[in-house]
C-alpha cells in the first residue's frame, strides 16, 4: 500500500479546472500518474493494462481539508494488480502492471484518411468542460469516421507546477479530449472514457513543447466507441500511447454531471 495521496487545492491546483458543477473530479489521466508513481518501474516503456474506472472521484474536500486516497498493490499470476482506494477503502480505479516480458512492438501512427474540419472548436463550452489548466488541445487538423489528428501540449506548456512527474496527465487528458471530440461526431453526443486496454509510457515526465495527437478509431456501436490514441513528437517517436480506449455515450447533461469523468 502506498502512502496517502492528499488532494487539495494547494497541492493539486490544476484540478480546479477539471470540475462538474463546481466540484473537481479526478480524471483517469491523473490516476495513471499515481499508478506510475506507485510502481516506479525500472524498465521502459512503462506499460499498464486494463485501466478501468470503477467509481468516479468527486473531490468534495478539495477546498477544505482535502481528500485522501492510496494505491494498493498485490502480486498476481498476471502481474502487479493496482487499485486506487479512498480513505474508507472503497476502490475507484484499477489497473495491471504486467511482467516486463509482456512488451509489445511499436505501432505506426499515420494520418487517417478522409479528414474534414471538426464541427466545433474544442473549448466552445458545449462539450469539453475543461478550464484553462486543461486546455491541452492547441489545434484540431481534422476528423473522419476512422480517426482524428491534432496538436496537444502538456503540463509544462499549461503552467503546471514542476514536480517529480512520472507521466504528463495534462497531455494524456488532451489526447482523451481529442478522442472525445471524434467520438461525439460518431455518436452524436458527449462521451466519457471508462477504460483503457493498454497504456504505454515511452518518456517519463512532462512533455516539452507540442506533440501530434492521433486518434485511430474503430466502427462505432450504438452507445460506445473504441479507439487508440498516440502522442508523437516531432522526431516521429511516440511519447505515450493509449490503446483500446472505451468511450461511452452520456445521454444528457444531468447524467453527465452525475457520472463525472474518468
Q: By C-alpha distance, which of 236, 240, 256, 260 is closest to 111?
A: 236
**Which residues partner with 240 through β-bridges?**
201, 231
CB atoms within 10 A of CB 206: 20
Q: 3-state SS of the chain: helix, strand, coil percent to 5?
A: 20, 35, 45
**What is the model's pTM?**
0.92
Count of domains in the chain? 1
Stated length of the chain: 262
Torsion of CA 248, 50, 173, 143, to 10 degrees: -50
Phi-psi domain of 51 (left: phi exceeds 0; alpha: psi -120 through 50; beta: other): beta
**φ, ψ (nearest 5 deg) of residue 103:** -75, 155
- H helix or E strand, kind and range, residue 224: strand 224-232
Q: By C-alpha distance, which of 54, 9, 33 is closest to 171?
A: 33
CB atoms within 10 A of CB 220: 19
CATH number at residue 254: 3.10.129.110
Q: Are 83 and 121 in contact (CB under 8 A)?
A: no
Those residues whose C-beta lies under 8 Å from the C-beta of residue 131, and which sit 6 or more positions away, are: 16, 17, 18, 19
Distance spanning both ends of the chain, measured CA to CA: 22
**Three-state secondary-structure class, residue 225:** strand
Each residue's pLDDT expressed in tens, for the chain with a length of 262 residues: 667 899 999 999 999 999 987 899 999 999 999 999 998 765 668 899 999 999 999 999 999 999 999 999 999 888 899 999 999 999 999 999 998 756 566 678 999 999 999 888 898 877 778 999 999 999 999 999 999 999 999 999 999 999 899 999 999 999 999 999 999 999 988 899 999 999 999 999 999 999 999 999 998 788 999 999 999 999 999 999 999 999 999 876 444 444 444 4
Q: Can you give the residue range of the structural domain that contains 185?
A: 5-259
Say how far residue 75 (Cα) sits from the centre of its chain: 25
Please give the pLDDT value at position 105.
61
Residue 122 exposed, middle or buried by CB count within 10 Å (0-12, 13-18, 19+):
buried
Amino acid at each position: 500500500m502506498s502512502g496517502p495521496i492528499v488532494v487539495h487545492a494547494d497541492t493539486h491546483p490544476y484540478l480546479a479546472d477539471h470540475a462538474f458543477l463546481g466540484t473537481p473530479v479526478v480524471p483517469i489521466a491523473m490516476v495513471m500518474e499515481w499508478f506510475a508513481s506507485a510502481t516506479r518501474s525500472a524498465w521502459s516503456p512503462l506499460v499498464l493494462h486494463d485501466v478501468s474506472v470503477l467509481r468516479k472521484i468527486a473531490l468534495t474536500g478539495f477546498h477544505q481539508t482535502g481528500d485522501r486516497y492510496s494505491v494498493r498493490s498485490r502480486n498476481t499470476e498476471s502481474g502487479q494488480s493496482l487499485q486506487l482506494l479512498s480513505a474508507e477503502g472503497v476502490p475507484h480505479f484499477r489497473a495491471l502492471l504486467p511482467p516486463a516480458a509482456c512488451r509489445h512492438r511499436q505501432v505506426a501512427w499515420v494520418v487517417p484518411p478522409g479528414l474534414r474540419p471538426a464541427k466545433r472548436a474544442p473549448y466552445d463550452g458545449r462539450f469539453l468542460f475543461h478550464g484553462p489548466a486543461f486546455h491541452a488541445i492547441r489545434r484540431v487538423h481534422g476528423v473522419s469516421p476512422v480517426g482524428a489528428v491534432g496538436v496537444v501540449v502538456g503540463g509544462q506548456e499549461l503552467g503546471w507546477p514542476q514536480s517529480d512527474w512520472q507521466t504528463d496527465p495534462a497531455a494524456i487528458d488532451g489526447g482523451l479530449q481529442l478522442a472525445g471530440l471524434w467520438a461525439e461526431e460518431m455518436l452524436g453526443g458527449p462521451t466519457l472514457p471508462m477504460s483503457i486496454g493498454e497504456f504505454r509510457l515511452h518518456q517519463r515526465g512532462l512533455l516539452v513543447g507540442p506533440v501530434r495527437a492521433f486518434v485511430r478509431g474503430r466502427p462505432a456501436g450504438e452507445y460506445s466507441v473504441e479507439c487508440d490514441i498516440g502522442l508523437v513528437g516531432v522526431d516521429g517517436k511516440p511519447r505515450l500511447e493509449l490503446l483500446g480506449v472505451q468511450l461511452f455515450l452520456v445521454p444528457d447533461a444531468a447524467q453527465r454531471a452525475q457520472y463525472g469523468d474518468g
